[in-house]
Amino acid sequence: MSDKAISGADVRTLRTRRLLTDALMSLGAEGSVDDIAVGELAAHAGVSRSTFYQHFASKDDFLVRSFVNMLVAMNATMRQRHPDRGDILPAQPLFHHVAMAGEFARSVARSEIWPLQMAAGELKLRELAEAVLPQRMPHWNAEERREAAVFLAAGLIGLLRWWVDNGMKQTPERMQAAFERLSNSVLSG
């Protein structure tokens, strides 16, 4: 298979996933995420059910993987755009994205998949933190960095859950500042 064919397949895959994500956000903002059927999601995205199932095992798989992939993309973008910033995790883009998603975020928070998304997100954030901590905290041993990664990932997810569950009354900037303050207290020790 040529590079051009692989790249074309990747473009189609990314396009399909973007269409599905946009459809989910639109439908989820209108009602319960739990009530969205795969057929309805696929139709709203302009793709077939079989296309959906070529990419995902179920709606829950789609929701969890989409959240995790979003965290990875936010982290990569943050590191590319701000290589000199000392952020361990992508708190700023995460809080801003959730604030912009508004009703969709509240719908997801009321859904049955929310705890699974948060658990999967926490695991991915832990991996992301573990990848950054050796450069940020070279004087710490591997176990200390692992402990910090666990704590920071759980802290970010905990703040996110608390914020969304309580109606997102604070600004994203306030939530980011809270995470930075708490993170810095861990990293200064």
Of 44-53, 77-86, 152-161, 166-175, minimum mean pLDDT range: 77-86
Percent of the chain with pLDDT over 90: 77
* pLDDT average, residue stretch 28-34: 86
Taking the C-alpha atoms of residue 80 and residue 73, their distance in angstroms, rounded to an integer, is 10
* pLDDT average, residue stretch 31-45: 93
- Which residue has 């920071």 as its token pair? 152
pLDDT band at 9 (very low <50, low <70, confident <90, very high): low
Please give the span between the terminal C-alpha atoms of the chain, in angstroms, as a whole number: 53
At residue 1, the 3 state secondary structure works out as: coil
* pLDDT average, residue stretch 118-142: 96
Buried b (16+ CB within 10 A) or exposed e, 162-175: ebbeeebebebeeb
Give CA 169 to chain center in angstroms. Answer: 20
